[in-house]
Each structure stands twice: as C-alpha cells, then as structure tokens.
Amino acid sequence: MLAVNGIPLFYMELAVGQYLSLGTVGAWTALCPMSRGIGFAMIMISFLVGIYYNIIIAWVVLFLFQSFRADVPWKTCDNQWNTRFCKTKRFGANSTINCTALGISDGCSPDWKSPSEEFFNNKILRISDSITELGSVGWEVALCLLLSWIMVYLCLVKGVKSSGKVVYFTAIFPYVVLVILFFRGVTLDGAGDGVLFYVNPSFEKLGNPEVWVRAATQIFYSLGVGFGSLITFGSYNSFHNNCERDAIIVCLINCGTSFFAGFVIFSVMGFMAFNLGTTVDNVADSGPGLAFVAYPEAISQMPVSTFWAILFFFMLLTLGLDSQVNLVIS
C-alpha cells in the first residue's frame, strides 16, 4: 500500500506545490480552473479533522497533568469516578465469576473494568448512559482544549518560520522517548510474547477487504495525503529541489517509525498480559483505547509509573502538536 498509493501521492502533492509555488486552492486552480473545488475540499477535510484531532490532544494534556502525582490516578479503584465493577486485576478470558463469593448481591456483571478504562470513560470522557443525557460541561477537558489551541497558535504565530523551529523539537523528541521506552519495554517480563504477537503474520487475513481498507486509511492519515498540507509545504521549496528524493525518504522514515513504535507498544502489552496471566490478544486494543486505556494500564503496573506516564504522554503531546500544526497550516 505504501508503494502503490502512499509514495506516489505524496510525491505528486509535493511536486505540484513545488512547481507552482502556490497553496492548495491556488495550485489546483492553476492546474485546471474546474478542479478548484478539490483545493477547497482538501481545506475542508483539514478543517474538520483538525477540530476533532485537537480534542484528542486535549485528552493527552489532561492525562499529562494527571500524571504529576505520587501515583498515577488510574492505578487504583478507590477514586470517586470508579464503580463497583472496577478491578485492579481483571479476570482472564476463561474465568468464571462467582458473584456470591465476591459479596455482590445485585448488579453483578462479568464485565469488569480496569482502573484505566474507568478513568478514561468516567473521568476524562464522562460518558453518559444515553445519548439523550448531555450532562454538564467537562471543564477540565474544556480548559485543556483551550490550552491545546493556544499551543497551536503559538506554534503558528509567525507562520512557517515559527512552525519550522518548533518542528525541530516536536519531530526529534519523540524518537528519543521511543528509544527510551523501547529499551524499558524489552526488559520487562513477558515482553517477548508481546513482540512475537506483533511480528507473527496472519496471511489468511490478506483475503479480507477490510484489512486493505484499513491499510489504505492508515497510509493516508500517516503520510498526510489529501489534506493539502503537502502542497503547501512543497510551495516553500526551491524550484530545483529534488522532491522525489524527499518523498521517498520521508515516506520510508514515517513507516519505519510506525513499525519501530509497534515494538515499543507490544513489548509493554506483553508485560501487561504476563501480569494478568492472560494472552496478549486479550489486552491489546486499537484506536484511542490503546493510547488511553491499554498502555496507561500497563504503565501503572511498572515501577516508577509516574515517570513513564509523564514521558509517554509528553511524547504524545509533541506528536499531536506536530500533526495539528500541519493540518492548520494548510
């Protein structure tokens, strides 16, 4: 998918911006006046994605603030947001729960929740029982969202000049943290099982169209294809810049980083599965659940969990700001 779609489209957008030295709308208008709407569509996509993406950054900011404690707050079940179904060590997939033995006379459910899951759902998201129950404003998240937009503004206050300086930090610092987390992860008990789960392929799933759809979606989101930011960045290049080389190098580094990050994540997932006495596939999650539930829960089981939580969420913050700046600048 990288070779068929990712690199060619990445190269095309860079080349268009570099050749015409115009922004998203201007470049498409110059290519063909009738295709001007494509430029506006790209801007609209960036606008819509940027709105919800900054909310995710706000969650990261709140997690980061909450990490500055002696113990991370999602480590135990004795907080005000926890329910009767919170359990610090979940039962395995094949466990049978004896509600009488546990002293629960009513409302018993086998769907126990981890402290990190309840922290995310009840403290951060404040999920209600029904869509008709709006509830009150979550001021903590709202203030973190405001802070997120302020940080984005400060990164772009002087346009590309200021964002270019910020990128030196937001692009390099995550690699430092990834290396630190990698060496910490592979030294944990059960890390090998997590890594084997990550690298062990399931070739039969290649026949599932959903797998290819998700692969294409991941490539487009990861490389930023179709958002217009690549055309904008390309417009700042010199006319004779070798954008083909840039496209290949950036795409390969991007995918290589994602592959390396998988070792960081799944080594810790293996450690978590080892502690719970279950398999990796029972603890691994996808989407926001991986960053805000599964990985934080694993961190809470590590020695000096506060330090690792701060390091992890600060890395997510720099990555999020880097992506958000690219969306807004287009």
Q: Pick out the residues of the known binding site for Na(+).
A: 222, 254, 319, 322-323
Q: Are 86 and 77 in contact (CB under 8 A)?
A: yes
Q: How far apart are CA 263 and CA 269, in angstroms?
A: 10
**Annotated binding-site members:** 222, 254, 319, 322-323
What is d(CA 43, CA 78) in angstroms, rounded to the nearest whole number?
46
| Residue 98, burial from CB neighbour count under 10 angstroms (0-12, 13-18, 19+) | exposed
Distance CA 91, CA 246 (A): 49
Token pair in block for residue 238: 């010199």
Quickly list DSSP for 273-294. HHHHTS-GGGT---THHIIIII
How far does the chain reach from its first CA to its final CA, in angstroms?
25
